[in-house]
Structure 1
Amino acid sequence: MSISSPETTPETTTVAERVYQALRSQIGSGELEPGAKVTERGMAERLGVSPTPVREAIRRLELDGLVERVGPRTTLVARIEEDASHDLAEVEVALRGLAARFAARHATDDELDELDRLLDEADDLVILIRARHRDGKPVEKHADRFLDVLGRFNEQVNAAAHNPVLLRLLEQSRSLTRSRQREISRAHLLAGDEFGADRYAEHRALVIALRGRDAVEAERIVTEHAARGLLDLRREQ
């Protein structure tokens, strides 16, 4: 596994950020198991970067409680107890709701129009996926597109909050990585039980609340939706 290093711009994520996200993903997916040793040199070689960004990423993972230093040069993937994992999920749900509250206050008309466009695209994909399941046809490509669209929708809602500090906290509080969430949802979509597809209609109500600048309703919709979604996903762990 290698992490590319494009020319840095103000909009480009730093190498350290990409290393951090890669390690978070590997810890969340179980690729790096609890108790596994995480070394600067070893991870630098594994990810194809220098040790410096790995050092910074490990510091951030320590603050997140995902790794723990047990010696001057020894860092291990932390063993997160079930209670702590549940607490983290509760924090994530609350932050998602708070992001929706901010979005109701600060979303631009263009951002709201993009949310509607994404849901229109999702509508078409749901119809197509259901029809292909009925006809016994493969749905992999369309399921991936559907998940991509919903991912962009969620990112757009968060971006519409226009609160970088909140978004950093939300990223740090993820109880499941994006890749793990997608893996679980994709498996259900391919199986034909429409895991997640039957709930995304709530997103229409969210956009209505955002357009009405109803921060309380927007927060309620997202909080309830996120709580149910995380509960379902965590049952798959």
Structure 2
Amino acid sequence: MEEYSLRSQVFQTIRDDILKGKYEENDELREATLGKELGVSRTPVREALRQLELEGLVNIIPNKGAYVTGISDKDVHDIYMIRSMLEGLCVRWATEHITQEQLEELDEIILLSEYHMDKGHSDQLTELDGRFHQILYEASQSRILDHVLSDFHKYVQLARRTSVKTEERAIKSIGEHNEILNAIKAKDAEKAGNLATIHIMHVMENLHIEEK
């Protein structure tokens, strides 16, 4: 169990570093260097790199090494398309199971978002946006859906670099969150789910994605 936990930690650390942009596309990931940085042997690093290759984040070339693949524009587009449908399902389920405490936290997030919007605090807005969706994932009471959508959220962190961070879009995003929350409060699962799907589609439209 301890060995599995170590492999999992090494995998998660390298994966997060790739998604956060620590490594550029085509950067070589050396087993010895990573092992030294993480304080582990080369074996768990090698296994983590193989797992990352299965996820498409790393390309292992025999007798050469492992290189960062990164996330293409098509990957980002596909993730948002899938996410839009899953978010709709998530919010439908969340409408049925959400607690009063979660509703109150969502209300607070919207109020804080409006405050930071007025102050021009983009980093806080990004953090609050992520928390808004995370509460809905948890409220769905589906471990699988929570895991998949949380994973997608990490994958699109890189895409945020190309997002058009305009005041107009920020205002619309907060408004869309408020509409979703109002539908949830009204126990209208169908409407809430449709609004969530449309919201993610609007986010995708706000990205500079080049056609491949």
CA 206–49 in structure 1, closer or farther in 2 if over 3 Å, else same: farther
- Give the whole-Å Cα distance in 1 for the aligned partners of 2:28 and 2:156: 20
Answer whether contact 2:49 2:58 (CA < 8 A) is retained. yes
Please list, as runs of the form range in 1=range in 2, the aligned pairs for 1:145-184 lying within 5 A after superposition: 145-174=124-153, 177-178=156-157, 180-181=159-160, 183-184=161-162
Give the equivalent residue in structure 2 for 1:89: 80
Task: Indicate which of 28, 32, 39 corresponds to 2:24.
Answer: 32
Answer whether contact 2:10 2:48 (CA < 8 A) is retained. no
CA 52–225 in structure 1, closer or farther in 2 if over 3 Å, else same: farther
Cα distance per residue 1:189-233 (max 9 Å; x no partner): 5xxx44323322111111122223332222211111111112212
CA 61–217 in structure 1, closer or farther in 2 if over 3 Å, else same: farther
Deviation at 1:149, TM superposition (A): 2.2
Please list, as runs of the form range in 1=range in 2, the aligned pairs for 1:123-202 lying within 5 A after superposition: 123-126=114-117, 128-129=118-119, 139=120, 142-174=121-153, 177-178=156-157, 180-181=159-160, 183-184=161-162, 188=165, 193-202=167-176
Q: Give the residue type in structure 1 aligned to 2:98.
A: A
- Give the whole-Å Cα distance in 1 for the aligned partners of 2:102 and 2:125: 19
- Give the whole-Å Cα distance in 2 for the aligned partners of 1:81 and 1:122: 30
CA 147–213 in structure 1, closer or farther in 2 if over 3 Å, else same: same
CA 79–236 in structure 1, closer or farther in 2 if over 3 Å, else same: closer
Percent identity reads: 25
Give the equivalent residue in structure 2 for 1:205: 179
Q: Give the residue type in structure 2 aligned to 1:113.
A: E
Deviation at 1:77, TM superposition (A): 2.5
Please list, as runs of the form range in 1=range in 2, the aligned pairs for 1:43-54 lying within 5 A after superposition: 43-45=34-36, 47-50=37-40, 51=42, 54=45
Answer whether contact 1:97 1:220 (CA < 8 A) is retained. yes
More helix per residue: 1 or 2? 2
Give the equivalent residue in structure 2 for 1:18: 13
In structure 2, runs of 5+ residues without a counterpart are 1-7
Q: Give the residue type in structure 2 aligned to 1:150.
A: D
Cα distance per residue 1:152-189 (max 9 Å; x no partner): 212212222222222322244459532552x455x735
Q: Give the residue type in structure 2 aligned to 1:188.
A: K
- Give the whole-Å Cα distance in 1 for the aligned partners of 2:172 and 2:154: 22
Cα distance per residue 1:68-111 (max 9 Å; x no partner): 33327732333766545433332222222222222122211111
| TM-score where L is the length of structure 1 | 0.69
Determine helix, strand or coil for the equivalent of 1:76.
strand
CA 41–171 in structure 1, closer or farther in 2 if over 3 Å, else same: farther
Give the equivalent residue in structure 2 for 1:103: 94
| TM-score where L is the length of structure 2 | 0.76
In structure 1, runs of 5+ residues without a counterpart are 1-12, 130-138
Cα distance per residue 1:101-160 (max 9 Å; x no partner): 22122211111111011112222333x33xxxxxxxxx4xx3333332222212212222
- Give the whole-Å Cα distance in 2 for the aligned partners of 1:160 and 1:56: 34
Query: Over the residues paired in the alignment, what is the CA RMSD in angstroms?
Result: 3.2
